Amino acid sequence: MTNRLGVELNLKSMFLPRNNHWFRRAILVFVFILFDYVSTLVFCRAPHEEANLYARMFMENLGIFSGLTLFVLVFNLPIYVTLSLDSHIVRLPAKIASFFELGVDLVFAWFVAGSHFNGGASWFWPMPELTRQAIGALLYFTIAFLLVKPHRPRYENKRLTGA
């Protein structure tokens, strides 16, 4: 379905990101989520050991594996869909796009990667929460700069110029 702005929305654009830096960013974000998920599965022996109250509720009602799996899928699906839609829809001029993507990376570094790194490392690394979260954010930025960010960005301005 195409609207008057020329934007096509379909299930493919919601669940399959374009193969560009947005796709690599989605993989990077989900590596941190997977780290938290796997470390919780490995180290959690009872639901009451989980610090996240929502995850604990799922684990108490459905069991550790099923509850944690459902929790991770439900609570992280909006992040994935947002990244997928952004990879198809967002078309900004190069200068604005680089500024916008820095903001996106700041949000993902602190609130997604940092918090998931903090949650995953909390099982085996006795450090203050803020320190673990900051280390997770720094890891995200380091990996994003080395693997995700295009060093010579090729932003598409076709729709902005009417071409």
Could you report the per-residue pLDDT of 23-59, keeping only the tens digit for each? 788 889 899 999 999 999 999 999 999 999 999 999 9
Q: Which of 28, 25, 3 is nearest to 101 (CA)?
A: 25
What is the chain's percent helix, strand, coil content, to nearest 5?
Answer: 75, 0, 25
Q: Mean pLDDT highest for which of 2-11, 41-50, 83-92?
A: 41-50
Tell me the two tokens of residue 135: 């280390």
Q: Give 161's pLDDT tier (boundaries 50, 70, 90).
A: very low
Q: Give 1's pLDDT tier (boundaries 50, 70, 90).
A: low
